[in-house]
Amino acid sequence: MLTPEQREFFWTNGYLAIPGFLSAEQLAAIRAAVDELVALAGSSPERSRAFDIGPPKPGAPPQVRRIFNPAEQDPRLEAIALDERVLDLVEDLIGPNIEFHHGKVNLKWPHGGAEVAWHQDLAFFPHTNTDLVACMFYLDDATRENGCLLVVPGSHRLGVLDHFADGQFIGAVTQDLQRIPLEKAVPVEVPAGSVTVHHCLTLHASEENRSDKPRRVLIYQYRAADAMQLVPDRSKARHYGMLLRGRQDGTVRCETITYRLPTHLVEDRLRSLYDLQEEFKRKRGVDTLVKT
């Protein structure tokens, strides 16, 4: 699937972009499924639990900013999670034994789609090893103006950074940013139909959508079958831990990693990345945590 040059780029930089990965039919199917799900948001209390609704802005209705467990919401979205070409891509990076970890759709609507502060994915769900990758499938052209992915190349080699403040997990890196070369951050601008894949320790963020175009992304996280999560899974997702390729041989592979466990999960409180980061910004009286 990947060329030697692509694999080298990923392991050097912690991310990789592949334009034109989705077929026209796949892209159309994903868009249609997401549009239908967004239209259903809030239609019932049960249905609303499938969504993260952003705070209302003056003169505008609340907007869906995340769809949880998309593979369970629509068979068209499940098909992408299980697609053989996707699993070929993942296998080239983390090996032949692959489990599904989780999925979501992040939606940045025009003129104000929420920022996502600098963070590493693994801080949210510590595992015994770091063979986890996130595949992001783009429904729209991603540009700096509409809040594309920002990454710090090579940051996956820094280890686990501190995502705490005032004794609480805030889902964002703050103090450790002082030793990160954010001036080297790269905007990953890709056309609709592309996929990007990043390592679970790659430091990444995205800014608000300042354009008149949406930026919608379907995201699936995969892990090696010998990576065990160290905090309870609160997603209650049917696909969590599903073996998608290869085998589980009953072993767990451990790397030497020291984590501060996310307090909201240890305390059995499922909270979204958006809520954690926005609460911290309110406490500190700041409008943004994304610095470049």
- pLDDT of res. 138: 98
Encoded tokens for 161: 């950074």
Q: What is the pLDDT of residues 155-181, one digit of tens each?
A: 999 999 999 988 889 999 988 998 899
- pLDDT of res. 48: 60
* Cα gap 70→102, rounded to integer Å: 9
Amino acid in position 253: R
Q: What is the pLDDT of residues 34-84, one digit of tens each?
A: 999 998 886 655 556 789 888 766 666 678 999 999 999 999 999 999 999
Q: What is the pLDDT of residues 195-251, one digit of tens each?
A: 999 999 999 999 999 999 999 999 999 999 999 999 988 777 899 999 999 999 999
**Whole-Å CA distances, 254 to 127, 198, 246:** 8, 21, 19
Q: Find residue 103's DSSP bridge partners.
A: 220
Mean pLDDT on 91-100: 98
Phi and psi at residue 127, in whole multiples of 5°? -125, 170
Contact in structure between 106 and 66 (CB atoms under 8 Å): yes
What is the model's pTM? 0.92
Superfamily for 4-284?
q2cbj1_9rhob like domain (2.60.120.620)
- pLDDT of res. 136: 98
Q: Which residues 6+ apart lie within 8 Å of 282 measured at CB?
A: none
Contact in structure between 98 and 243 (CB atoms under 8 Å): yes
Map out the domains of the chain as residue ranges: 4-284
Which residues in 229-258 are b (16+ Cβ under 10 Å) and which e? Answer: beeeeebebebbbeebbeeeeeeeeeeeee
- pLDDT of res. 59: 62
Per-residue pLDDT band at 265 (split at 50, 70, 90): low
